[in-house]
Structures are given as structure tokens and as C-alpha cells.
Structure 1
Amino acid sequence: MLVMVASVSGAPGVSTAAVGVAALWPNTPGLLVEADPCGGVVAARFGVRQEPGLAALAAAARHGLPAVGPMRFVQVLPLGVHAVVGSGAADTCAGAVSVLASRPAALAGLAPVVVVDAGRLYPGSPAQGLLSRVDALVIVTAGDTEHLDHVDTRLAGLRVSVPTPQVGVAVVGKSAYEPQEVSGRLGVPVWAHLPTDRWGAAVLSGRLSGPAWTRTRLAQALRGLAATLAAHPQQQPSRAALEVVR
């Protein structure tokens, strides 16, 4: 399964959400692939090397090498998550993502579950080339009118590239709108509400550590999102499930 986590506006915590979904995937963690054309942050946040990583994977794919045996491209984050990290240099990342977008099997074949952090899907982003291969696209957005407007205007174009209805949103922080209102307006399900949780966010961005992080409100919400994606990515979680993570 190939899951893309992205935003269309601002910086609502896409990398944090992607790390959490990979870490908390049911039964076994997913493989995180940091494919943000604007540059990677995961290596710096967690204190691991930038290479081998996304650039090495793209170079292998460009030369027609088989997309198997992913360990040579992988770093292990302190959370125990295996990750193909992006370079901090935007031009290097953009070039690597462009190569992989033309060879999506190089990502899909890396592991049974691959979680792609695509950063912001701005118009013309190289990461949009991966959309035709993803099984689920999670749009992370703030819950205010401004950001929901941006999602609304971009969704039609994005859904052309993604097999419908496997597109949904994860709303970050407080919102004046109920999940049903957001879903009704956007025409896609609200798969999760990600609460403002500084402790959970600090662990998922490499600033804190400790085994208790999986009990934070943010971790609980991301675990629910991962379970929803793993089971029925086309379905909206129940209102009761959403209330648990508020």
C-alpha cells in the first residue's frame, strides 16, 4: 500500500503526521519516504545522516536497478521507524522526486506499506507525478476557513490524478466546523482530527523521546488514522472515533 501525506497550503505538520502514521501503522510500522521537493527535514530533526536516502534511491531507479532490498537506502529513526530521508537541499530533493515520479514502482515496491511525505503539493510540484500510483492521499490542513478554502480549490485537480474516493483530509487543531460540515463542503471524508499536542508533536519531530509518547493525544489520533487507512481508506471514520481524539 502506498499512502501519500501532503498539504496544499501552509505548514500544518505534514512531516510530523507522516512519521506518526508510519510509526503507528497496524501490526508493523510502515516505511517512511521523505519526498518533499522543497527539501527534507527528518534527518536534521532526528540526527541521522542524509545519505543513503532519497537521492541514492532515485539514482538507482534512474539506472534501472531493481527496486528491492530497500535497506541500502534506509536510516532508522530513534522511534524505530525505517525511513528513506530527503536531502536538506531543495534542488537535490526536487530532482530525486522528479525521477521517482516517473518510476513510481521504485517507491511502491520498497515495502508492504510505504508512507510518502510529499510536503506541500503546490501547483507543478514534482510529487504530483506520484498521485496516479497512491492508494490513499491524506491532505493535512488547518481547520479554519482560509485553509479549507485552499483545499477546496485544489481538490478537484488532485482527484483527477488519484483513484477516487481514496482521498481524505486530516484536520489539525481546533476548528469551528464539525467533521460532517468539512466533509460535506469538500466532498471527501474527514479521516482524522489531529489535536494540538505539544508533547506528541515534540516526539514526532525529534525534540523529545520516551516510550510514553504512544499514549499522547496526537499519537492516539494518528494511530486511528493509520488504522482507517489500513482497513478502508475510502470510508469516513465514525463520529465516535473522531470524538475520542478531540
Structure 2
Amino acid sequence: MLVVVASVSGAPGVSTAALGLAALWPGRPGLLVEADPCGGVVAARFAVRQEPGLAALAAAARHGLPSGGPAQFVQSLPVGVHAVVGPGAAETAAGAVSVLAAQPEAVAGLAPVVVVDAGRLYPGSPAHGLLRRVDALVLVTAGGTEHLDHVDTRLAALRASLRTRGVGLAVAGKTRYTSEEISGRFGVPVWAHLPSDRWGAAGLCGRMSGPAWTRTRLAQALRALAATLAARARPAPRAVLEVVR
């Protein structure tokens, strides 16, 4: 299953949500692929190297992935998830994302569940190519009127890019609108409300160690979102690359 987490404006917590989804996926963690063309943040937040990571994976993908699978490009994060981390430099990140987005089936085949942090899906973002294969697109948005208006202006174009109807919203922070009002306006479900939770965010941003973050309100919301998305999963193909054997 390929899940893309993104926003259309601002910085409502896409990286935090994507990491939490991968870590809390039912049964076993998913693989996080940090494919934000504006540059990655995971390596800096968790004090890991930028390589092996997305740039090396993209370089290998130009000639077909090695027979050993993606394991050589993956790093283990303290929150209990494996990740292909993105480079911090926007130019390098955008180039790597362009290469991988041209091969969405290969990205989807990296693991049984791949959660992609696509950053902001601005018009012309190289990450748009991934939408041709995505099983679920999670648009993270703040709940204010101006942020929802931005979703309104971009949603039709994004839905036209999808091969399925699998798009939903994750509303971050407080909002004066109900889920029914938001869903009724956009014609897509509100899959989650992500609370403002400094402890949960601290665990997913590398500022707090240990498993305590998994008991926070944010973790509970992300665990429920992961379960909702997992229920949409198609039967997995028999031949699939495992990240860790």
C-alpha cells in the first residue's frame, strides 16, 4: 500500500503526521520515505546521516533497484520505524523526488506499506507523479478558514491526478467547523483530527526519547488514522520487497 501525506499550503505538520502513521501502522510499522522536494527534516531532527537515503535510492533507481532491495538506503529511527531520509538541500531533494516520482510502482514496491512525506503539493511539485499509483492521499491542513480555502482551490486538480478516490483530510489543531461541515464542503472525508499536543509532537520531532509519545493524544489520533487507511488496503502482491528480513 502506498500512502502519500502532504499539504497544499503552510506547514501544518506533514512530516510529523507521516512519521507517526508509519510508526503506528497496524501489525508492523510501515516504511517512511521522505520525499519533500523542498528538503528533508528527519535526519536533522533525529541526528542521523542524510545518506544512505533518498538521493542514493534515486541514483540507484535510474538503473533499476539493486537485487538486495531497499535495505541499503534505509535507516532506523528511535521512534521504531525505518526511513529513507531526504537530503536537506532543496535542489538535491527535488532532483531525487523527480526521479522516484517517475517510477511510482517502484516506490510502492519498496515495502508492504510505504508512507511518503511529500511536503507541500504546490502546482508543479515533482511529487505529483506519485499520485498515479497512490492508494490513499492524506491532505493535512490547519482548520482555519484561510487554510481550508487553500484546500478548496487545489482539491479538484489533485483528485484529477489520482487513480482512485482515496483522498481524505487530516485537520490539525482547533477548528470551528465540524467534520460533517468540512466533508460536505469538499466532498471528501475527514479521516482524522490531529490535536495540538506538544508531547506527542516532541516524540515525533526527536525532542523526546522513549516510548511515552505513543500514549499521547496525537499518537492516539494517528493510530486511529492508520487503522482507517489500513482498512482500505488492497490485497498485497505476492512478490514484494521486504525492508528487513
2:134 is the alignment partner of 1:134: yes
Does structure 1 conserve the Cα–Cα contact (< 8 Å) formed by 2:137 and 2:167?
yes
Whole-angstrom CA distance in 1 between matches of 2:180 and 2:61: 42
Q: Which amino acid aligns with 1:62?
A: R
Whole-angstrom CA distance in 2 between matches of 1:78 and 1:65: 26
Does structure 2 conserve the Cα–Cα contact (< 8 Å) formed by 1:32 and 1:82?
yes
What TM-score do you get using the length of structure 1 for normalisation? Answer: 0.93
Give 1:218-229 correspondences, 5 Å limit: 218-229=218-229
What's the CA shift for 1:40? 0.4
What's the CA shift for 1:68? 5.6
Number of residue pairs matched by the alignment: 234
What TM-score do you get using the length of structure 2 for normalisation? Answer: 0.93
What's the CA shift for 1:106? 2.2
2:49 is the alignment partner of 1:49: yes
Q: Which amino acid aligns with 1:38?
A: C
Does structure 2 conserve the Cα–Cα contact (< 8 Å) formed by 1:6 and 1:139?
yes
User: What secondary structure is seen at the aligned counterpart in 2 of 1:140?
Assistant: strand
Q: 1:157 to 1:119 in 2, by over 3 A?
A: same
Does structure 1 conserve the Cα–Cα contact (< 8 Å) formed by 2:139 and 2:169?
yes
Does structure 2 conserve the Cα–Cα contact (< 8 Å) formed by 1:141 and 1:171?
yes
Give 1:194-213 correspondences, 5 Å limit: 194-213=194-213
Residue aligning to 1:79 = 79
What's the CA shift for 1:224? 0.3
Does structure 1 conserve the Cα–Cα contact (< 8 Å) formed by 2:214 and 2:220?
yes
Q: Which amino acid aligns with 1:161?
A: S
User: What secondary structure is seen at the aligned counterpart in 2 of 1:146?
Assistant: helix
- Percent identical among aligned pairs is 81
Residue aligning to 1:237 = none
What's the CA shift for 1:69? 1.7
1:60-79: CA deviation from partner (whole Å, max 9, x where unpaired): 11122347621100010011
Q: Which amino acid aligns with 2:178?
A: E
Residue aligning to 1:101 = 101
User: What secondary structure is seen at the aligned counterpart in 1 of 2:83?
Assistant: strand
Deviation larger for 24-33 or 100-109:
100-109
Unpaired segments of 5 or more residues in structure 1? 234-246
Residue aligning to 1:170 = 170
Does structure 2 conserve the Cα–Cα contact (< 8 Å) formed by 1:67 and 1:110?
no
Whole-angstrom CA distance in 2 between matches of 1:171 and 1:232: 20
Residue aligning to 1:15 = 15
Residue aligning to 1:186 = 186
Whole-angstrom CA distance in 2 between matches of 1:131 and 1:67: 26
Does structure 2 conserve the Cα–Cα contact (< 8 Å) formed by 1:68 and 1:110?
no
Residue aligning to 2:216 = 216
Whole-angstrom CA distance in 1 between matches of 2:109 and 2:9: 29
Q: Which amino acid aligns with 2:101?
A: A
What's the CA shift for 1:165? 2.0
2:190 is the alignment partner of 1:158: no
Q: Which amino acid aligns with 1:55?
A: A
Q: Which amino acid aligns with 2:202?
A: A
Q: What RMSD, in angstroms, separates the aligned Cα atoms of the two structures?
A: 1.3
Does structure 2 conserve the Cα–Cα contact (< 8 Å) formed by 1:56 and 1:73?
yes
Q: Which amino acid aligns with 1:190?
A: V
Unpaired segments of 5 or more residues in structure 2? 234-245
Whole-angstrom CA distance in 2 between matches of 1:135 and 1:75: 24
User: What secondary structure is seen at the aligned counterpart in 1 of 2:61?
Assistant: helix
Q: Which amino acid aligns with 2:30?
A: G
Whole-angstrom CA distance in 2 between matches of 1:66 and 1:165: 33
Task: Provide runs of 4+ in structure 1 moved above 4 Å.
Answer: none
Does structure 2 conserve the Cα–Cα contact (< 8 Å) formed by 1:68 and 1:109?
no
1:68-114: CA deviation from partner (whole Å, max 9, x where unpaired): 62110001001121000000000000000000111112211110000
Whole-angstrom CA distance in 2 between matches of 1:67 and 1:52: 17
Does structure 2 conserve the Cα–Cα contact (< 8 Å) formed by 1:67 and 1:106?
no
